[in-house]
A and B are shown apart, each in its own frame.
Chain A
Amino acid sequence: MRQLPLISRRVAAAAVSVVLLGGVAACGPEDSDSSGSKGGSGDAPREGGTLTVLNSQPQSDFDPARLYTSGGGNVPGLVFRTLTTRNRENGPAGAKVVPDLATDIGKPSKNATVWTYTLKDDLKYEDGSKITTADIKYGIERSFAAELSGGAPYLRDWLVGGDSYEGPYKEKKGLDSIETPDEKTIVFHLRKPEGDFPYLATGTQFAPVPKAKDTGTGYEKHPISSGPYKVVKNSGDGERLLLERNAHWSDKTDAERHAYPDTVDVRSGLDSAVINQRLSTGTGPDAAAVTTDTNLGPAELAQVSGDKKLADRVGTGHFGYVNYLAFNPKVKPFDNPKVRQAISYAINRTSVVNAAGGSSLAEPATTFLPERKYFGYTPYDHFPAGKTGNPDKARELLKKAGYQDGLKITLTHSTARNFETSPEVATALQEGLKKAGITVRLQGLEDNDYSEKTKSVQQAPGLFLSHWGADWPAGGPFLAPIFDGRQIVKDGSNYNAAQLNDKAVNDEIDAINKLTDLDAAAKRWGALDKKIGEQALTVPLFHPVYKRLYGADVKNVVISDWTGVLDVSQVAVR
């Protein structure tokens, strides 16, 4: 049912998050769950001071309607409160969804098609006026307006009437599927069961927007704050964003955000190497600086980990993300399961992980779902390649498939230098497959060309490097777009590269979406992942790990596994 422009919008946003999160990677000691916890000196965090945020991507379109889902976790989260939010804790605990403006994460109807939320008491905007559910309804409706595009496509897909609604500027009447019986209650009517609705409600589209203050596309210059900070200055299309304390925000109604610094100064448009250099040198305001979109690259990690003082200032983050080899079984010889299995057996994951930046920046993967319980991670290794590949087993399978004299294939990758779909990874794979008698020809495509070809049903190459990140930490957004047969997009951006349309898989996806018990759902997603894995439609390669450097004066560093990003709402500089 999803419309094409929306899908491509998601593609664009997914690509952006790739750039943000995967742009540069680097390494450090492998203690993923604890390394984020300590920051700066040991004494307790205090209020005051200015936190500088050095970013590569500008905060353009700083409008709650236009930000993509995970945007809600970083700088925008300081200004926009939403019905629910992510738990602001280190590591896996941070992947939990918790109430924000609402008193709970949502009360579902029996089949999870109706979701009801109640607001907390004493919620105020930056001007002291009261936040009501009508404002939240209006905020969501705005995101349907064509001129305020950028958000995730789920609302359009899930809400009754969402597929045809054109936003409050064109349709003053509003969306009937969002009801506000009183100013503290809001009810959503979905056209199909969606147990993941509380995750979606963390998106900035669920932030309140007072109708009287809405200036359409100009709203991004000064969105009305419901969070701990308000926008004082927004210049250069979000390149410089100056935030100051919002006096009407109270931590009595907000259990998640801290707001220690008095001022937050966001400076963007910087080169990632410059950001890491400034953070490591840490002179002047840079000592109290963090970044929310830049990782350490392999070379930077090598340098930082050689310096004890710098190494102590590196936090580790995980994000739901997988890098994999995608097969298109419509192209020979990948229609033959034995060929796909042989390639799975022959993969040298050690070389691949090294090409992606080494063991501190990438974890070898044999499962599609990342190694976290909330995704439903269920260990499996159907075609064990060991650490460096099993060329003998691969040869044996190739012989059975009729390729006893070796196999010649083409691997498509992008020429972008992202350590994910880049030439380094492709070359490492090529070298590994050579040992099994598989000759790989590399086809490097310019990034746009790569993205277009690999997502087209007609043009998709037989074998290509791919990656996928989830919009929220659950198995659904991870598996459904890749393996749901009804999500094959014939003339747009298609993510189901294998073009798998298996009734059993589709039915199971529908069944899990009905579950409102997120733990139970996770288990079933894990089982489904294991089941699909038997068909060898993808070869999971690695899950990335993010290393974040921060300034010497920065305290209370929290990096949750929801986004793998350093949480600016927790940081103190005094």
Chain B
Amino acid sequence: MSTEVLAAAQAGVPAPASGARQVWWRLRARRAAAVAGAGLGLLLLLALAAPLLSVLIGQDPNAYHDDLIDSARGGVPTGSYGGISGEHWLGVEPGTGRDLFIRLVYGARVSLLVAIGATVLQVLIGVSIGIAAGLGNRLLDGLLGHLSDVFIALPTLAFAIALTAVVPGDFPRPLLLILVIALLGWGGTARIVRAQTLSLKKLDFVAAARLGGSGPFRVARRELLPSLAAPVITYVAILLPTNIVAEAGLSFLGVGIRPPTASWGQMLSSATTWFRADPAYVLLPAGLLFLTVLAFTVLGDALRTALDPREASRLGVGRERTRRTRRTRTSRKGDPA
């Protein structure tokens, strides 16, 4: 068993006891997850290929089109639905005439970069601290436990605003956002990993490895990490959408990504006043943000079910629940109203 797990873990694939291939099959069997995954895949592809796309469709994200907006009317796009045309697929931005499609794509780049970067860093910090607390003596455990409690209790947004505001303007903003979001948000991961480590520590194979003379690093790497993969991956699926929203929120408040770099939060922020005059301008970034977060959530839910079907069915999440609710609905239909 353990060789299979190790092989999977070394290949960098989530590796629960049932094997990566089975997880993949179970994931694919759920249509919602497949759609969400495909959608996110497409978004990632668009984001990665943004510069190429920009050249292909001939739209620069920062190019102004003063002829496409009605200057006398506050700069509202001429034409219907926010100035949609063959050239500008999703219309143009009020006040500048910049192409919205390519700006949304570039915005996805920022959102995904910051969210993924922050999540990776959060997991690295969280897992290290969690394992250290779980394996360490009482003093270390208490210290690290309190530390992560403090970070969980911190009002994240207020601290993030303060931190991003005091850092000199020359510091690269995406990196700053990654650091701020990650450093303020690793507490949850650490706590989960610590709890998991404590229960794993009592299991025979870990005890055997420790008795066999393995040091804490070796135990952590060879015995604990493979078993921690499932809960951590599940938690990552929750962290990613949270971090996307955090980035958008900070940019919305004007302390995140700085112009002229496109970002969803910034677009939303300048669009808030336009919701009556140019609804398309608000709906696009808002809709995309909503769909992305929804897709991550659906995928995360499915991943949890796939990684641990027994646990999922016990908790009533995943496919079992859908079936059950469907059955109740049908039976209700028969009732006289």
| A-B interaction | yes
Q: Which residues in A have some Cβ–Cβ distance to B below 8 Å?
A: 26-30, 273, 296-303, 305-306, 348, 350-351, 353-355, 357-361, 388, 415, 417, 423-424, 426-428, 430-432, 442-446
- In this complex, the member of A426, A427, A442, A444 whose beta carbon has the largest number of chain B beta carbons within 10 angstroms is A427
Tell me whether A443 and B169 are in contact in the complex, defined as CB-CB below 8 angstroms, given that A29-B72, A306-B73, A357-B74 are known contacts: yes
Q: Which of B66, B169, B278 contacts A299 (CB 8 A)?
A: B278
Question: With a CB–CB cut-off of 8 A, which chain A residues contact B69?
Answer: 354, 358
Question: With a CB–CB cut-off of 8 A, which chain A residues contact B76?
Answer: 298-299, 302
Q: Which partner residue on chain A sits nearest B69 by CB separation?
A: A354
Tell me whether A427 and B259 are in contact in the complex, defined as CB-CB below 8 angstroms, given that A297-B273, A299-B274 are known contacts: yes
Min CB distance A306 to B, Å, is 7
6 A–B pairs (Cβ distance < 8 Å), ordered by A: A348-B64, A351-B66, A354-B95, A424-B270, A432-B64, A444-B259
Q: Are A431 and B75 in contact (CB under 8 A)?
A: no
Tell me whether A417 and B277 are in contact in the complex, defined as CB-CB below 8 angstroms, given that A30-B72, A358-B74, A360-B73 are known contacts: no
Q: Which of B95, B259, B273, B277 contacts A273 (CB 8 A)?
A: B273
Q: Which of A305, A354, A446 contacts B96 (CB 8 A)?
A: A354
Min CB distance A246 to B, Å, is 40
Over the window 94-110 of chain B, the binary record of Cβ atoms lying under 8 Å from chain A Cβ atoms (1 yes, 0 no) is 11110000000000000
Secondary structure type dominating chain B contacts: loop
How many A-B pairs have beta carbons closer than 8 Å: the answer is: 114
What CA separation (Å) do A424 and B270 show in the bound complex? 10
Min CB distance A444 to B, Å, is 5
Q: Which partner residue on chain B sits nearest A357 by CB separation?
A: B74
What CA separation (Å) do A415 and B253 show in the bound complex? 11
Min CB distance B169 to A, Å, is 5
Q: Are A299 and B260 in contact (CB under 8 A)?
A: no
Tell me whether A431 and B62 are in contact in the complex, defined as CB-CB below 8 angstroms, given that A302-B278, A355-B95, A358-B74 are known contacts: yes
Q: Are B66 and A361 in contact (CB under 8 A)?
A: no
B71 interface residue, CB < 8 Å from A? yes
Over the window 276-295 of chain B, the binary record of Cβ atoms lying under 8 Å from chain A Cβ atoms (1 yes, 0 no) is 11100000000000000000
What CA separation (Å) do A430 and B98 show in the bound complex? 14
Question: With a CB–CB cut-off of 8 A, which chain B residues contact A444?
Answer: 169, 258-259
Min CB distance A439 to B, Å, is 12
Question: With a CB–CB cut-off of 8 A, which chain B residues contact A360?
Answer: 71-74
Tell me whether A301 and B74 are in contact in the complex, defined as CB-CB below 8 angstroms, given that A415-B254, A424-B95, A430-B260 are known contacts: yes
Q: Are A299 and B165 in contact (CB under 8 A)?
A: no
Q: Are B66 and A350 in contact (CB under 8 A)?
A: yes
Question: With a CB–CB cut-off of 8 A, which chain B residues contact A28?
Answer: 72
B38-86 contacts to A, CB under 8 A, are 62-64, 66, 69-76
Q: Are A27 and B73 in contact (CB under 8 A)?
A: yes
Q: Which of B73, B169, B170 contacts A302 (CB 8 A)?
A: B73
Q: Are B73 and A305 in contact (CB under 8 A)?
A: yes
